[in-house]
Structure 1
Amino acid sequence: MESEDEFLHTYFSHVSQLCYEKAKELVEKEKEPKGSTTSWSAFLNYLQQLALAEKSYMEIGFLQNKHKSFLRKDNSLKSIYETMKNDLRKLEEQNRQSVAPNNRIQKSSKNIIQYINARINLIDLYDKIYNVGLHKQNRHNEILTQIETVIEKNSEGFTDICLTPAKAVFSLECEILEQLFRALSRLQKLEFSPSLALIHGAHTRLIAWENKIQSREIWKLGIFKNSPSPALFQWFQKLKGAVLSKFSLFFHDILAQQTTPNEIRQLCAKLQQDYYQKIITFQKKYDATYVLLLSDQQTLNSPSPNGIIVSYPPRISTSMDLVLKMIADTYSELSMDKIIYKFLSQEQHTYIIATVESTIYLIILFENKKSEKDAYISNFVVEICQNLRCTKTFACLKNTTK
């Protein structure tokens, strides 16, 4: 490997390991004497800018500082990447037209432009994920399609050996997103084995990514040894935790058959969200007859013949025909995310119905009259539905502390 190639490979290794200071020092050492304005020195300046942009990216800087107006320059990270891309194109053109063109600048500029395009694609993707969370929508398949497009669009990009470390991390980032959103799609269809395999796939890739950033400089500074991972990596862990928690509720009965009641309680307690315990606590505190998740799609994947996915108390012998009719009658309201209260005066029963996601509903039955103004009930319903849709996790992509 030639010296320039070795330098660039080391630079991208540092950046992919989040060692931004090391990357900066490496560039400084490589710079020619002050006053020199060669194409290589200009190229090195862009590498310094790229390291700063990458640091901001890993701290979820791409959803911050969107201050664009008639009198104010757009200083978003996406705009910074766009400017850098245009500047590298100019440098590439100038180098091509020079008397003695530098082939390494030519090749590297082209590859880095492809890498920046990939970053911009991911920023657009995260922006869409954030907006899905903001508007409490359930569009997992739409997001999954966009993830697949990003992967396909960039599969042949920045393949230069010097950018191998950056390519590896980019691929992991995309694959984790793909696995988790594909798992959410499979969970909607109540597919146990595919969902489990996808969550495990995302988990192993997260470990691989974490291993690549173990040597990052901030961990080596004594008092900062326990410094948290970068914000984006933490968000990925939250997303995996949210999907795993959802899986544990949807397939609670199957998982409970694999172990003892005490062990399943202990395992669920370690999850990001212990939904089953939340349902138990609510049912006991409010003396509900039952709390359950119901699928209105009778498929081979339905955990029970009456469409019940999970319930507490565990065994519900009641026919769900009446509930399914209520869902059908109030479908338009449920699709607008309204909580439906149905009081049947003859039986003195109150049915509360809410949409978790397409074809899956939260049902609560009380053997007395309940008011829509009961904040505890409505808060419980809203919180569990939103958390199961993962919309809170999507919305927390925007780091409000910055």
Structure 2
Amino acid sequence: MSQPSTPKTPPMSPLGAKEESQLLMYFQFLSQFSFDKAKDLMEKEKEIHKASFGSSWALMVHSLIQFSVAEKTYMSLGFLEQKWFGRAKDSLRNSYFLLLGELRRIEETVKQQEHIVLGLPGPMVEFELLLSHLCGQLCEYIRARQRTMDFYEQISTMGTNKNMNYEDLVDVIAEIIHVHSKNFHHPILANLKSSFTCECDVINHLLQSQILMSQAQFLQSLLQLHQAHSKLTSWGSASQAKETTKKSMFGHSSKTVSAWPALYQWLLRYKSLLVAKFSLYFYDVLSKQTTPVEMKSLSSKNVEDYSAKILAFQKKTDALNVSLVLDTQEIEHVYKGPGYHHPDKQFEQATGLDSYPAIYSYPGEYPASHWPNVVMMISDRTIETDKVTCIYDKGVQSTYFITCADPKIYIVVIYESKKSEKDSYVNSFMTELGSMLKCAKHFASLKPGSRGASRK
């Protein structure tokens, strides 16, 4: 039986040094969101190696051209676009599926022709085996990408649901990190791995922060926010993406255009929304560290100034009080009160009315005389997460509106008069505030064209 012919291979420098440097540059471009540069780099390689069509390197170059296109689509969230007969989402999944097949073929071809490869000069052998190894690890990377695509699909769907279970999302992303982060570790893929790790860590820290805020844990949620901020900054600083300012045709106005890909922008805004939420949930704690004027100024710089929204609402409707109330009986740990507490300091579990503290109250302290009614409404457990409950108490001639801001935190508005339960302004404000604090619209905004979606 005749031996299969040895595939034509272009002459290489020792150990394929030129090709290896091209690979390093290619994956560096991808980690910097420079997807077009990565594609152009491989397009040039394709032209150079036209004569060796069918060689492992030529096949690898072809696959990497497609890989850069797929990564660009992923980072632009193109796979979550509103689908027309399922094409938008399926298109990227199909691209990754085809890439898996191509990379596996290259890997298997080298393995099957190992006796031929081993007959090549030493440097050639090492380079062929390197390509096979990289193909195997890139297959693992694509499997991880397929999991994160499912994850963002789950987030976008959750944004339109009544119940938002952040713990489920944390479990999913934690599993992705645990299962996949060690499967593509070659030094040539270091930049790609770093980018993937940053992405997963950032969303994990942000979700953890959101959960901890819903339990009014000041220090822990702050630390998670800080971790997310540090990793976002590190990830962004490695990129070559910049914001540019474009002037209108007549030069009277300008618009800042971000070169960051949509996924990075979405994560950046998610962090900003949680910073704004943190500023509201721990407003009293933070305000004690500065002057009222400075606190107001700092709040106004947030992506959402919740305290200003509440102030304007209270004045317009003449509400007696607007509060955020924490149900401490629904949290697993002993609530220690607002702010930082020494870890060794012992606290007893609050009981009665004290187990429903107002973590935010405007104007001034929460109205103690109304608190038995407020606690009764919350402990009644009939409040729907996406609706506003209204009760009028004839005895005290007061109206109470209540809705969920988080699973354990409630927005409560009190009027010392009879108000219609169908008051559109009150209901709209409370529904909108509750939705914003849950980050529901931001979750839904992952899928452009969805109701209320906005990628700012």
The TM-score, its normalising length taken from structure 2, stands at: 0.81
Given that 1:353 and 1:363 are in contact with CA atoms closer than 8 Å, whether structure 2 keeps it comes out as yes
Q: Displacement of 1:105 after TM fit?
A: 2.2
Matched, 1:14 2:45: no
2:79 aligned residue: 62
| Structure 2 counterpart of 1:234, from 265, 277, 280 | 265
Distance 2:242 2:308 in 1: 40
Q: Could you tell me which amino acid in structure 2 is paired with residue 4 of structure 1? A: E
1:110 aligned residue: 136
Given that 1:67 and 1:75 are in contact with CA atoms closer than 8 Å, whether structure 2 keeps it comes out as no
Q: Could you tell me which amino acid in structure 2 is paired with residue 100 of structure 1? A: I
Distance 1:151 1:317 in 2: 47
Given that 2:391 and 2:400 are in contact with CA atoms closer than 8 Å, whether structure 1 keeps it comes out as yes
Cα displacement string for residues 190-221 of structure 1 (whole angstroms, at most 9, x for unaligned residues): 111111111111111111111111x24997x9
- Higher alpha-carbon deviation: 252-261 or 230-239: 230-239
Distance 1:14 1:73 in 2: 25
Q: Counterparts of 1:289-328 in structure 2 under 5 Å?
A: 289-297=320-328, 299-303=334-338, 305=354, 306-319=356-369, 320-328=371-379
Matched, 1:208 2:225: no
Given that 1:147 and 1:174 are in contact with CA atoms closer than 8 Å, whether structure 2 keeps it comes out as yes
Given that 2:79 and 2:88 are in contact with CA atoms closer than 8 Å, whether structure 1 keeps it comes out as no
| Structure 1 counterpart of 2:197, from 168, 171, 187 | 171
1:39 aligned residue: 56
Cα displacement string for residues 275-297 of structure 1 (whole angstroms, at most 9, x for unaligned residues): 11111110111000001010121
1:349 aligned residue: 398
Given that 1:68 and 1:74 are in contact with CA atoms closer than 8 Å, whether structure 2 keeps it comes out as no
* Structure 1: 4+ residue segments shifted above 6 A: 221-225
Distance 1:246 1:317 in 2: 23
Q: Could you tell me which amino acid in structure 1 is paired with residue 318 of structure 2? A: D
- What is the DSSP-based 3-state SS (H/G/I as helix, E as strand, rest coil) of the residue aligned with 2:448? coil
Q: Displacement of 1:167 after TM fit?
A: 0.6
Q: Could you tell me which amino acid in structure 2 is paired with residue 301 of structure 1? A: K
Distance 1:326 1:62 in 2: 43
Distance 2:157 2:234 in 1: 29
Given that 1:144 and 1:181 are in contact with CA atoms closer than 8 Å, whether structure 2 keeps it comes out as yes
Given that 1:294 and 1:308 are in contact with CA atoms closer than 8 Å, whether structure 2 keeps it comes out as yes
Judged with a 3 Å threshold, the aligned counterparts in structure 2 of structure 1 residues 171 and 314 are, in CA distance, closer, same or farther, namely: same
Given that 1:189 and 1:301 are in contact with CA atoms closer than 8 Å, whether structure 2 keeps it comes out as no
Distance 2:79 2:243 in 1: 22
Q: Displacement of 1:367 after TM fit?
A: 1.2
Given that 2:32 and 2:238 are in contact with CA atoms closer than 8 Å, whether structure 1 keeps it comes out as yes
Matched, 1:384 2:433: yes
Judged with a 3 Å threshold, the aligned counterparts in structure 2 of structure 1 residues 138 and 34 are, in CA distance, closer, same or farther, namely: same
Judged with a 3 Å threshold, the aligned counterparts in structure 2 of structure 1 residues 26 and 275 are, in CA distance, closer, same or farther, namely: same
2:225 aligned residue: 199
- Higher alpha-carbon deviation: 301-310 or 11-20: 301-310
Distance 1:3 1:226 in 2: 39
2:314 aligned residue: 283
Q: Displacement of 1:371 after TM fit?
A: 1.4
Distance 2:394 2:82 in 1: 55
Given that 1:199 and 1:240 are in contact with CA atoms closer than 8 Å, whether structure 2 keeps it comes out as yes
Q: Could you tell me which amino acid in structure 1 is paired with residue 357 of structure 2? A: G
Cα displacement string for residues 320-359 of structure 1 (whole angstroms, at most 9, x for unaligned residues): 2221112222x23x23532111011232211001111212
* Alignment: residue pair count: 397
Q: Displacement of 1:38 after TM fit?
A: 2.1
| Structure 1 counterpart of 2:413, from 361, 364, 367 | 364
Given that 2:140 and 2:183 are in contact with CA atoms closer than 8 Å, whether structure 1 keeps it comes out as yes
Judged with a 3 Å threshold, the aligned counterparts in structure 2 of structure 1 residues 130 and 73 are, in CA distance, closer, same or farther, namely: closer
1:100 aligned residue: 116
Q: Could you tell me which amino acid in structure 2 is paired with residue 126 of structure 1? A: Y
Where does the alignment leave 5 or more consecutive residues of structure 1 unmatched? none
Cα displacement string for residues 42-68 of structure 1 (whole angstroms, at most 9, x for unaligned residues): 221110001011111111112126445
Q: What percentage of aligned pairs have identical amino acids?
A: 34
With a CA cutoff of 8 Å and minimum separation of 6, indicate the structure with the bigger relative contact order: 1
Q: Displacement of 1:398 after TM fit?
A: 1.3
Distance 1:5 1:138 in 2: 46
- What is the DSSP-based 3-state SS (H/G/I as helix, E as strand, rest coil) of the residue aligned with 1:134? coil
* RMSD over equivalenced CA pairs, Å: 2.6
Given that 2:390 and 2:400 are in contact with CA atoms closer than 8 Å, whether structure 1 keeps it comes out as yes
Q: Could you tell me which amino acid in structure 2 is paired with residue 316 of structure 1? A: Y
Judged with a 3 Å threshold, the aligned counterparts in structure 2 of structure 1 residues 65 and 309 are, in CA distance, closer, same or farther, namely: closer
- Higher alpha-carbon deviation: 94-103 or 19-28: 94-103
Judged with a 3 Å threshold, the aligned counterparts in structure 2 of structure 1 residues 24 and 218 are, in CA distance, closer, same or farther, namely: farther
Q: Could you tell me which amino acid in structure 2 is paired with residue 90 of structure 1? A: R
Q: Displacement of 1:76 after TM fit?
A: 3.1
Where does the alignment leave 5 or more consecutive residues of structure 2 unmatched? 1-14, 118-127, 249-253, 339-349
Q: Could you tell me which amino acid in structure 2 is paired with residue 196 of structure 1? A: L
Q: Displacement of 1:104 after TM fit?
A: 2.3
- Higher alpha-carbon deviation: 45-54 or 31-40: 31-40
- What is the DSSP-based 3-state SS (H/G/I as helix, E as strand, rest coil) of the residue aligned with 2:308? helix
Given that 1:59 and 1:230 are in contact with CA atoms closer than 8 Å, whether structure 2 keeps it comes out as yes
- What is the DSSP-based 3-state SS (H/G/I as helix, E as strand, rest coil) of the residue aligned with 1:159? coil
1:186 aligned residue: 212
1:263 aligned residue: 294
Judged with a 3 Å threshold, the aligned counterparts in structure 2 of structure 1 residues 202 and 336 are, in CA distance, closer, same or farther, namely: closer
- What is the DSSP-based 3-state SS (H/G/I as helix, E as strand, rest coil) of the residue aligned with 1:100? helix
Q: Could you tell me which amino acid in structure 1 is paired with residue 276 of structure 2? A: S
Q: Could you tell me which amino acid in structure 2 is paired with residue 170 of structure 1? A: F
- What is the DSSP-based 3-state SS (H/G/I as helix, E as strand, rest coil) of the residue aligned with 2:392? strand
Distance 1:186 1:240 in 2: 14
Q: Displacement of 1:89 after TM fit?
A: 1.5
Q: Counterparts of 1:120-131 in structure 2 under 5 Å?
A: 120-131=146-157
